[in-house]
Amino acid sequence: MYNARLLTIQDISCVGQCSLTVALPVISAFGTECAILPTAVLSTHTAGFSGYTCKDLTDEIPKILNHWKNEKLDFDIIYTGYLCGSVQIDLVKEIVIATKKDNGLFVVDPVMADHGKFYPGFDSSFALKMKELCSNADVIIPNITEACFLVDVEYVAEGYTVDYVEELLDKLLALGSKKVILTGVSFDKDKLGVAVKEKNGKTYYYFNEKIPHNFHGTGDVYSSAVAGSLSIGKTVEQAAEIAVDFTVKAMKESYEERYSHWYGVRFEKAIPYLNSIISKK
């Protein structure tokens, strides 16, 4: 997939180091053209700030899609993140049908929850709708909480078994996506990583150091690095690994300031790692 054109669909949180302010620089660091479709404009993200503003852009999406159709624009990869409501999920399906190249990839991060809870504005009816998007995807990238909400399994924060993770993976694959990357997997207090599986395949686990702090925005950093890696022709397993290493580097860069700079990770400082990946290509 040489010189891929990637479209990412998620919100602009003006301040907060998440969604598009992460996806654009991270995907660009792979040398890949990154087109955007903003789903909403928020003054900040919703996790920890109070009084944030939000302008939902659902009404703009059909107009933007029409223009793209007229211009015959298409994409090698479509990667979705934070979507605002069920109508946007239907619109994303239309966008994928109309603009994804035949041999292109559709990557879904079902952003809606973490640490056992839905983010503000999300609920089980949104999770039900998100299942539909996952069923159309080539790769889905849920965290454990999102996985549990997608497949109706009880959330277990820690101390779970390999069987628990395998049950989640198999139920997620049964939704219909070709591959699953399950994030936030940990069987050991010092290691954190991901599990990658395709239907009837063997699970591939990849771990790195567990940084002992919950940072906001790591899901977006991770999924953007997966999408960027896929855009330069890496396999899903390689992409999953590169993204773990990048996210850990970003967390390490953020650790000292974890309380004063609480709202996001300093992924910008870890960008040279991505440059090293593309120079090895």
Q: Which residues bind ligand PXL (CB under 6 A)?
A: 11, 13, 18-19, 42, 45-47, 82, 111, 119, 217, 219-220
Q: How many CA atoms lie within 13 A of 281 on its CB side?
A: 18
Choose between 232 and 251: whose C-beta lies nearer to ligand PXL.
Answer: 251
Choose between 50 and 279: whose C-beta lies nearer to ligand PXL.
Answer: 50
**CA 132, chain centre distance (Å):** 16
Choose between 52 and 204: whose C-beta lies nearer to ligand PXL.
Answer: 52
CA distance linking residue 143 with residue 149, whole number of Å: 10
- Look at phi and psi of residue 198 and say left if phi exceeds 0, alpha if psi is from -120 to 50, else beta: beta
The answer to whether 218 touches 205, Cβ cutoff 8 Å, is no
Choose between 19 and 229: whose C-beta lies nearer to ligand PXL.
Answer: 19
Choose between 119 and 187: whose C-beta lies nearer to ligand PXL.
Answer: 119
Query: Apex CA 135: angle with CA 82 and CA 107, to 5°?
Result: 45
CA distance linking residue 15 with residue 12, whole number of Å: 9
Choose between 37 and 173: whose C-beta lies nearer to ligand PXL.
Answer: 37
Q: How far is the CB of 13 from ligand PXL (least distance, A)?
A: 5
Choose between 16 and 193: whose C-beta lies nearer to ligand PXL.
Answer: 16
User: How many H-runs (helices) and E-runs (strands) does the chain carry?
Assistant: 9, 11
DSSP for 101-116, written as a single string: EEEEEEEE---SEETT
Choose between 205 and 263: whose C-beta lies nearer to ligand PXL.
Answer: 263
Q: How far is the CB of 204 from ligand PXL (least distance, A)?
A: 25
Q: How far is the CB of 85 from ligand PXL (least distance, A)?
A: 13
Tokens of 151: 């497949």
Backbone angles phi, psi at 85, to 5 degrees: 95, 165
Q: How far is the CB of 69 from ligand PXL (least distance, A)?
A: 27
Going across the sheet that includes 75-80, the strands are 54-56, 33-44, 5-15, 75-80, 100-108, 139-140, 179-188, 191-198, 204-209
Q: How far is the CB of 223 from ligand PXL (least distance, A)?
A: 9
Q: Output DSSP code: residue 133.
A: H
Q: How far is the CB of 53 from ligand PXL (least distance, A)?
A: 11
Q: How far is the CB of 11 from ligand PXL (least distance, A)?
A: 5
Q: How far is the CB of 127 from ligand PXL (least distance, A)?
A: 15
CA distance linking residue 14 with residue 188, whole number of Å: 36
Tell me the one-letter amino acid at 108: V
Tell me the one-letter amino acid at 5: R
Query: Apex CA 264: angle with CA 109 and CA 241, to 5°?
Result: 50
